[in-house]
Amino acid sequence: MASDTDISAFPSLGVAERIEQHLLHTVGVAPDQAGKRDLMNAVSQVARAELSQRWVAGEAADRKAKARRVYYLSMEFLIGRSLGNALAALSLDSPAAADLAQHAATLEDVQAQEPDAALGNGGLGRLAACFLDSMATLGLPSYGYGIRYEFGMFAQTIQGGRQVEHPDPWLADGTPWEFPRPELAYPVRFGGWVERAESPDSPPLWRHAGEVSAKAYDHVIPGHATARVATLRLWKASAPAHMDLHAFNSGDYARAAEYKNQFENISWVLYPNDSTPAGRELRLRQEYFFTSASLQDIVARHLAEHGQLGNLAEQVAIHLNDTHPAIGVAELMRLLVDEHGFVWAAAWRITQRVFSYTNHTLMPEALETWPVALMQHVLPRHLEIIFRINHDFLLEAGAHRPGDADFLRRLSLVDEHGERRVRMAHLAIVGSHKVNGVSALHSDLLVQTIFADFASLWPERFTNLTNGVTPRRWLAQANPKLSGLLDQSLGDGWRRDLGTLKRLLPLADDAAFRQTFIEAKHGNKQRLAALIHRTTGELVNPASLFDVQVKRIHEYKRQLLNVLHAVTRYRAILAQPQADWVPRTVIFAGKAASSYHSAKQIIRLIHDVGRVVNHDPRVGDRLKVVFIPNYGVSVAEVIMPGADLSEQISTAGTEASGTGNMKFALNGALTIGTWDGANIEIAENVGLEHIFIFGLRTEQVAALRASGYNPRRYYDHNYDLKTAIDRIAEGAFSPEEPGRFHDITRTLLESDYYLLLADYGDYLAAQGKVDELYRRPTEWTRHAIMNVAGMGTFSSDRTIREYADQIWNVKPLFA
């Protein structure tokens, strides 16, 4: 039987022949009997074979050149489906589609057989996936490192308006996209105690209590219009001994598997529920597990190529995507000092030059910390290392401000207030040579607020690199209708140079171009309407304004403000049924963390409001409220192109950047948003007149809170707001349980930390301007085109070039 390599080695074989061969030899099915999943696997094997050749060649070139590499460590890589992206990168999508037609199948239907890779949850993971795409496309020698989650976070269904979580077994039927590396396994150890060495020149001895093996599985990330690829290496936890055979033979099957499960659960589920002590411990073990395995792999590769570690910082750049891998600072010190005999000072110089760190949150309560007691239990040697780093750092900081004890308390890597906790962001800052925010406002606020003391010590360490998204996935792949129009008007170079979109500016006044743009948008809205009907049962009018808010459900993202507007609009339609209402479909999607009660209640409120509004015959098609379940990359690829209005309404000063805002605008949606995160830079690039900005600015938010914010004042003085809240509180949308949303309305009236009531009036005024513009389709379309034209700077290619030049010092290397 021919192997995969045998098949791919014959360049004379066309795509159709290679698919037939893979159906027969790899999938094991007669071509005329192949089902859609068989076809998906066969087409994937064709792409995989070509990518493998590029991969092997690129790795060989990197080794030969002894290239400096960047290693991107992230808990999440939300890569979605791989087949469409791979075919596009290889320019095989058209021939594959033609052959599949011979099997009575469409490429879209075959691609839909592939489950989304459940390796992330939200913006953090999608950003990491975009970055890997750009690293490959730009030719940077690069690896991403993460965890091979077997189940992802959860699959979301809705039952009775409630979010219900199910396992997400995306690997249940295997995946053609991973390459197991059985020869690559590293020990990762936990617990135990630390002994002092007999010699004062020897490092302490970590007597660990348990060990798990980290096994490597690789995914190829293709570059576009280049032969280069990037590697995503994921780690699976495997117990050294698979079972207690004596217990098994004695009939105690549970105890036989206990040891295996105790360690292998590390790579089972993305973000285990951390509301329990066991969940928090598992989360810490996860973070250390993948970070330790990754660093061991990096060190092993470097030693194989260079034979020594003294030049590690010259050849290696390690980037920490948020604080989840921040324990890597202590782990690299352990490897250098304990395993490779470096003196502390030399190891610390290397460590600081190797690491860089991206912060993704301005909210102090969201900055990751770990109880000292828990870290002592799980990672006793690392706690010792952190204490020593902290001691040396505070001596340095003390010299900067002698006698200022409060300054040192704020800077310390250990928070001494109440339960002692290790501050992981502080560890990442102290252990890195560069720290960046992800939008201009976010980066400014980092050095003005939560990290102001660090910035006073090291102002040169802090910088900004505004996020971006890959146009290959989020325009070319997600929106073929608009992509075809762009290709016709601009050529296809925009995929690699998104700045080309600015050439659309004069076309905004071209009637023929506008009409084709409208037709593309309508086709995308029909596709989205079909998704809504398929997943919710609701029929929505594609001619209505599609008003979309899709993102993680969280109080600071203010889905609740959107709901208040929907309730107000519903009541206004009932009060003025003869008015000229702009038909609107309000679309939500997103997951709430399993332990986040308030977010789950918001999901239930959305469904209850939709249940009432959507079935009120007095309203008809003038207003619909829908919630699309199980939001993920493949769902987003349908939603983004079909949106008219993009809701980016977080409280000013809380959203670090956002990337959904970029994807929507790139696909021709207009933004309604606060002056927050990357909304600001989008407004500056597309023009303030082409975006709907509302609400308090960051400094006004701070001033209002400082003055003693009283939400009831807004409630008492705004009839529409009071009525909307009262109707929710009275059970108008939950008559079977009138008090269902008491906690939501009480929180709004008593605290309203995210200032929904303060921004409500201005938000409604902005929504009125949205209606006014949508009544003029020519003008709306002109604004939409101007949004697309202004999005060139928001390519992740631009972002990665800046990282490579300003932080990593990594140069492109083409195979």
Q: What are the catalytic residues?
A: 360, 551-552, 557, 659, 663
Question: What token pair was written down for 33?
Answer: 């009997």
In the chain, what is the straight-line distance between the N-terminal and C-terminal CA atoms, in Å? 31
Sorted by sequence, the CB contacts under 8 Å of residue 508 that are 6+ apart come out as 514, 782, 785, 786, 789
Parallel, antiparallel, or unpaired for β 193-195 and 205-207?
antiparallel
Residue 753, both tokens: 């930390």
Taking the C-alpha atoms of residue 469 and residue 799, their distance in angstroms, rounded to an integer, is: 9
Which residues have C-beta within 8 Å of that of residue 123, sequence separation ≥ 6?
A: 360, 551, 552, 657, 658, 659, 660
- Indicate the angle between helix axes 480-490 and 511-536, nearest 10 degrees: 160
Find the angle CA(699)-CA(126)-CA(562) to the nearest 5 degrees.
50
- Spatial CB neighbours of 660, under 8 Å, sequence gap ≥ 6: 123, 550, 551, 636, 640, 646, 648
C-alpha span between 426 and 286 (Å, rounded): 20
Crossing angle, helix 380-400 and helix 344-354, to 10 degrees? 80
Q: Find where tokens 């009775």 sit.
A: 160
Query: What are the angstrom distances between the C-alpha of 715 and each of 569, 698, 749?
Result: 17, 22, 8
Count the neighbouring beta carbons within 10 Å of the beta carbon of residue 440. Answer: 16
Q: Amino acid identity, residue 14?
A: G
DSSP notation for 733-772: T-TTSTTTTHHHHHHHHHT-TT-HHHHHHHHHHHHHHHHH
Tell me the C-alpha to C-alpha distance, in Å, between residue 543 and each of 357, 528, 547, 641: 45, 12, 12, 15
Who contacts 556 (Cβ-Cβ below 8 Å, separation ≥6)? 363, 650, 651, 654, 655, 754
